[in-house]
Amino acid sequence: MINVENVAKHFTLHNQASMTIPVFEGISFFLNQGECVALTGESGSGKSTFMRMLYANYICNKGSIHIRHNDRLVDIATADPHQVLDIRKRTLGYVSQFLRVIPRVPTIEIVAEPLLALGVDKEQAIAKAQDILARLRIPERLWSLSPLTFSGGEQQRVNIARGFIADYPILLLDEPTASLDAVNRQTVLDLIEQAKDRGCAILGIFHDHEAREAVCSRTFDVTQFQSV
């Protein structure tokens, strides 16, 4: 589902004398259907950077990142913006640690949006959003409110609901259980297991060891590719 070849990344700080921060080089990696792989490495080794490159949030300085999209392989590192948006709409879901939403849009609409973008009928999309919000224990009285004032754990669950509603073929998860209590954490682990069962390929950053052990079949350590 993902095939990364010889990828390198550095940041150039244009506002600080164009200083260069090398992150990593020579990363090759693959992700298969139905597996969940944990991205590991010490703090600052580049886990989030790598994940953002897979989502085309950060550019790639070298190499290729092929994503299986509509039954063909597309290099997201060189894809044009329309292709990137289409890959994100149909193929690649991303659950980040932080909720970024437009103010005043109700939670239920934020969660239903990925389905609406795919052309699913509004009633059906809202019904599915209600199901997943209930499953993640977001109280019904909050569904019509913007999540911007929600607690950290509630916001994280809204992000998770949005990420899991559309049955993406690939999911990128950045610490999906970080702010959750034991019961909600277990619900998220169940959602991950269910996604794997339907063939979803998952790459996740899990600082939570037990969660990692529970759902991941292998780890991929980016430290070995750190630039010096």
Ligand X SMILES: Nc1ncnc2c1ncn2[C@@H]1O[C@H](COP(=O)(O)OP(=O)(O)OP(=O)(O)O)[C@@H](O)[C@H]1O
Site residues (CB under 6 A) for ligand X? 11, 21, 23, 41, 43-49
State which residue, 13 or 85, has the beta carbon closest to ligand X.
13
Give the nearest distance from C-beta 168 to ligand X in angstroms: 22
Give the nearest distance from C-beta 11 to ligand X in angstroms: 4
State which residue, 45 or 155, has the beta carbon closest to ligand X.
45
Strand 2-13 with 19-31, pairing = antiparallel
List, in order, residues 6 or more apart from 149 with CB less than 8 Å away.
none
DSSP state of 227: -
State which residue, 49 or 156, has the beta carbon closest to ligand X.
49
Give the nearest distance from C-beta 108 to ligand X in angstroms: 31
Give the nearest distance from C-beta 105 to ligand X in angstroms: 27
DSSP E strand stretches across 14-129: 19-31, 36-40, 62-69, 72-75, 92-95
Strand 62-69 with 2-13, pairing = antiparallel
List, in order, residues 6 or more apart from 190 with CB less than 8 Å away.
none
The C-alpha torsion from 129 through 132 and 137 to 139, rounded to 10°, is 10
State which residue, 59 or 85, has the beta carbon closest to ligand X.
59
